[in-house]
Each structure stands twice: as C-alpha cells, then as structure tokens.
Chains A and B, each alone.
Chain A
Amino acid sequence: MSASPSEPVRATRGGVRVWFMRSESARGYALLSPTLVVVVLGLIFPIVILTTLSFWKQDYVDIIRTFTLENYSAFFEKKIYYLILYRSIRISAFVTLVTIVLAYPLAYFIAFHVQKNKIMWIILVTIPFWTSYLLRVFAWKVILGYNGVINSGLISLGLISEPLEFLLYNPTAVVITLAHAWAAVAILPIYVSLEKIDRSLIEAARDLGESAFMTFVRVTLPLSLPGVIAASLLVFIPTVGEYVTPTLVGGTRGIMIGNIIQSMFGKALNWPLGAALSIISMLTVTLAVCVLLGGTRWFRKKVG
C-alpha cells in the first residue's frame, strides 16, 4: 500500500488523486502536516533565529548583525555564567534524584499494594498539581519563610524561640519546592511501568528461592527502569531552565541559569548574550541526557 517510486503518477488531477488515496504514507503526512507546520514555525524557526542571534552583538539598544563569537567566549571567560550553569545542572540533578527516590515507593505502593480504586489514588496524587504552579511555589515560600508557617508554628508550640533562618533562600529550598512541584510528573511514568510488569515474573523469582528484596533488585527494578528514565528526563530537562522557583525561594545562593537568561532579556539588556547562554544551556542539557541514557544502557547490560 505504501507509495512506491515505480508507481506511475499521471499528471492529471484524477491521477494524483488516485495515487493520493492509494498511498497510506501520503494521506498520513497530509493529516499530520498542520501539526508539523505548527511545530516547525513555532519551534524550529525560532530556535534558528535564537542561534543566529547568539552570533550577533549588542551595542546599547541596537543589535549589530555581523558574525562574532564574542558571546560564547564571554561564557568561558567570565566564570559567573559557567558557575551558575554548573549549579543549575547540579540542583536539577539533585531535584531529579530526590523526586524519583520519593516518588518510586508511592508508585510501587499503588501498583502492587492497592487492590481497589487505583485510579482514585492516581487522582488523589495528581490533584495538588492541577492548581496554579505559581501559587504552589509561592505556598512553599510562605511555609519556609522567616515568619512563615513552619517557623511560626514551631514558635507557637514552644519548640524554638528564634525563627530558623536556614529554611528559605538557599538551594535546599529550591530542591524541596521542585521535588514537590514535579512529583506527579515522576509518579505517573513510574507507576505505568510498574503496572505493566507481568506479575508471574515476580512470582517465578520468588518460587525459585529469591528473597523479596533480591526479587525487587533483580526483577522489579530493572523492569521498571523505562518509567524511571522517562521520569528523570521529564523532571531534569525542564527544571534546569526553571525561573519561578529560584526567583521566589532561591535567594542569592539559589540563582539558576534561567534567572541569568531572563535578566539578559530584561534589565541587563543583552539579547545576543542571552541567546548564547540559552544555546549553551540547551546543549549542556542534551549532553547530560546522553550521559544519563548511556549510563543506564551500560547498567542494563551489566545487570541483564
């Protein structure tokens, strides 16, 4: 049924039509084309523009449209950009780890221990994430703040006399907030991959004398790895560019590359440098993802 090049295509309108109706590929592409156009115009074209911009230069309010590598050399010469990107990657990696370690047992619980109403549990888990992202992050600022919920609560209970200052405005606050904000994104893929596991494989391992723990390590965990990988990508990639959370709860020590990029398009007014930082961040994230995927492939080969 697919369009073979040898198929005679007559130049008449009827001929094209017959060919079109016969070729599954052609009809598929035709149906897909509006969506593809949206993605090409809305994503690929802008990324090309951003890349071009990163090789131009800002001169006060004007942009000089001649090729230069200045913005990229600025990244490597001024340590601050490099350090903040490194910090962003580290924070996001840590967020990813914490989110998955916290989410996995819950997904496991729903998949293996809840007999009835699994869907109700999934809904229960996702409800907090249907409320405004901005307000959820903001709620953490209110909870962790100097005069916030935790501090005032502990003082009212008489457990502390002075507010704890280490709760807010540091990378830990960013990690807590993001581990909360992205929890559902981690729980769902892990749950799906655990749910898919053929139960008889686990029973077989137990019948053959493997302990419950070793069955988990050698059967359940490797089989749920696709969900874990999907979850880590879905959490890691977007959080590297996070802007809202570091702004609200990060303080000076929690600034991430998203804040720097934003400032280049705002107060600092240096679009080309901002573009270059975006491109560098994107490439770094892609590289980190490749390392992660390569690492898991290696791990699988070793275990499997």
Chain B
Amino acid sequence: MAATRLKLNGLGLYAIAYLGFLYLPVAVLPVFSFNDSQYVAFPLKGFTLRWYDELADSYGLLNALGNSIRVALCVSVLSTVLGVFAAKAVTRYRMHGRGGLIGFIMVPLVIPEIILGISLLMTFSLSDVRLSLVTVGIGHLLLCVPFSMLVLISRMEGFDRSMEEAARDLGENAWGTFWRVTFPIIFPGVVASLLLTFTISFDEFVLAFFLSGSDATLPLHIWSQLRFPERLPSVLSLGAIIVVASTIVVFVAEFVRRRGVQLAPPRA
C-alpha cells in the first residue's frame, strides 16, 4: 500500500500550493464570518455568531433566495428536458449537419455574457416585454441548455442501443421504451444536468443584472449589499453558508453518479 501513496515530488508540492491558491478566497469567507469585528483584517478579534443572526433577520435576503430558487428550479427542469430531447436527437439519429447543429446550440457558451445580456435586454424592451424573473429565466435557459446537452450526450453515447431495440422488438411503443429503458439508464445524467444547471442559474449574475425587473435574485441582492461596508461581515457569512451547501451538493452528485455507474455499466 505504501508504494501507491502520493509521492511528494516537485509537481506534487506545486499541486498542493496551487490548491492553496484555489482555496484561499473560499477560506477567507468562513474565517472572517466568525470574526467579531466590522473590518475584514488581521488580527482576528474573537468568535461571534452575530453576523449569522443578522443574516437571518434580513427580509431582502430571504426574498431574493426564494426568487433564485424558483428561477433555478424552472430553468434546470426546462433545460434538462430540452437537453434530453437534443441529446437523444444527436446520439440516436443520423442527421445531416449534426456537428454544425451541436455547435450552434453551444454558441451561448462562447459569447461574453454581457453581450448576451444586453442583446436580450434590447429585444425585450423594443418588444415591450416587462422585465421580471421570467426574463431572467429566459436568459439563464439559454446559458444552461448547452451544459445539459453536453452532460446528456456523454451519458447517452455510453449506453448500448440494442437495449432500446430489444424493448421495441418486445412490443413497447416509443414512449414506453423511453420511460422504461432509456430514462432509467440516463437517470444519473439527468440528475447531473439538473444539479449543474440549477447551480449555474442560482449563481448567475450578469444576465440577471440586465434582465431582472423589481425582483432581485440572490446574486443581485449580494451585489447590492457590497456597497455598504457595515453589511460586509454578514455577506461573508452568507458566502460561508453557500460554500458549505454547494460542497454538500457536489458530494451528493458524485454519490449519485457512482451509484449510476454501478447500476448501469456504461459500456456492455
């Protein structure tokens, strides 16, 4: 066993140093969220939970959190449904211009978000659509669909097509085949897509900045708080909560993925 242990050569040390760099900002949030001082500076002044108390009392925050969850839920479900359709189309049918079509759906990933945001803003305002959480959701959907499609394509490419054919031969119709054969097999991909797109929408700021009406999403609420130095520590405590929550989500997602791999070996 000792032989397989991590060798700490130069590269290993670099890897650890680089991880330190990646985790530095993430560590700052929780450390200073428990610090009993208005200012985010060393030396630490002592332990307190008051910034968390302050957070719980903030009406704007809870409201924004609710808005973000609603938008992210709708966007993740819609995006995953579209992703399943699209992934099935490009993996199951020989189509003319397949690569071009996939590339076309991926375009929102390679356009600066600010340009995506203002072009949608212009479209909505010139066609008299009132800005609301719905318009934010439309922007997020555009950003999320490529991710759903990528995740689901990789899942669908993995499994054996003959299973679907067997179901058809045994008399299932197209719908039955999908629900009883395809869906259970791609289920881990569906979960991954839901989690990924939920997180993207939940965290998205620039599009929401341009496309929201009077209702703020959580990132917009955070942005509005950053202007007030006295709110700073409670913003840090909010950040710490997000760090912990998203870490849990990532591990749950990995757990689901591993079970999925065990239940349905991707390649026969």
B is a partner of A: yes
Count of inter-chain pairs, beta carbons less than 8 A? 246
Question: In the complex the two chains form, is A143's CB within 8 Å of B14's CB?
Answer: no
Contact between A265 and B210 (Cβ–Cβ < 8 Å)?
A: yes
Residue of A nearest to B82 (CB): A35
Find B26's partner among A25, A115, A128 (CB 8 Å cutoff): A128
Tell me whether A147 is interfacial, beta carbon within 8 Å: yes
Contacts of B19 in A (CB 8 A): 106, 124-125
Of B112, B120, B254, the contact of A237 (CB 8 Å cutoff)? B112
Tell whether A132 is near chain B: CB-to-CB under 8 Å: yes
Inter-chain CA distance A163–B110, complex, in Å, is 39
Are B115's CB and A278's CB within 8 A? yes
Q: Determine whether the beta carbon of A109 is less than 8 Å from that of B21.
A: no
B119 partner, pick from A47, A114, A136, beta carbons under 8 A: A47
Report B165-218 residues with CB < 8 Å from chain A CB: 199, 203, 205-206, 209-210, 218
**Contact, CB under 8 Å: B104 / A241:** no
Q: Are B95 and A24 in contact (CB under 8 A)?
A: yes
Residue among B108, B112, B126, B249 with the most chain A CB within 10 A? B112
Task: Give the docked Cα–Cα distance between A31 and B153 (Å).
Answer: 14
Q: Is A58 an interface residue (CB 8 A)?
A: no
Are the C-beta atoms of B138 and A42 separated by less than 8 Å? yes
**A residues in contact with B94, CB < 8 Å:** 1-2, 24-25, 28
Main secondary structure, interface of B, reads helix
Which residues of the other chain, B, contact A11 by a CB distance below 8 angstroms?
none
Flag if A36 contacts B22 (CB, 8 Å): no
Query: Is the beta-carbon distance between A244 and B210 smaller than 8 angstroms?
Result: no
Contact, CB under 8 Å: A148 / B40: yes
Total residues of chain A contacting the partner, CB 8 A: 84
A200 within 8 A of B: no
Tell me, yes or no, whether B29 is within 8 Å of chain A by CB: yes
**Does chain B have a CB within 8 A of A73?**
no
Assuming the contacts A130-B247, A133-B205, asked whether A125 and B104 have C-beta atoms less than 8 A apart, the reply is no
Point out the residues of chain B lying under 8 angstroms from A115, CB to CB: 4
A window 250-289: CB within 8 A of B:
258, 261-262, 265, 271, 274-275, 278, 281-282, 285
A274 to B119, CA, bound (A): 10
Contact flags B124-164 to A (C-beta < 8 A → 1, else 0): 00100000000000110110010001000000000000000
Give the B-binding residues of A (Cβ under 8 A). 1-2, 24-25, 27-32, 34-36, 38-39, 42-43, 45-47, 49-50, 53, 102, 105-106, 108-110, 113-116, 119, 123-128, 130-136, 138-140, 142-143, 145, 147-149, 151-153, 155-156, 180, 183, 233-234, 237-238, 240-244, 248, 258, 261-262, 265, 271, 274-275, 278, 281-282, 285
Q: Which B residues are within 8 Å of any A CB, using their own CB?
A: 4, 6-7, 9, 11-12, 14-15, 18-19, 21-26, 28-29, 32, 39-43, 82-83, 85-86, 88-90, 92-96, 98, 101, 104-105, 107-116, 118-123, 126, 138-139, 141-142, 145, 149, 199, 203, 205-206, 209-210, 218-219, 222-223, 226, 232, 235-236, 238-239, 242-243, 246-247, 249-251, 254
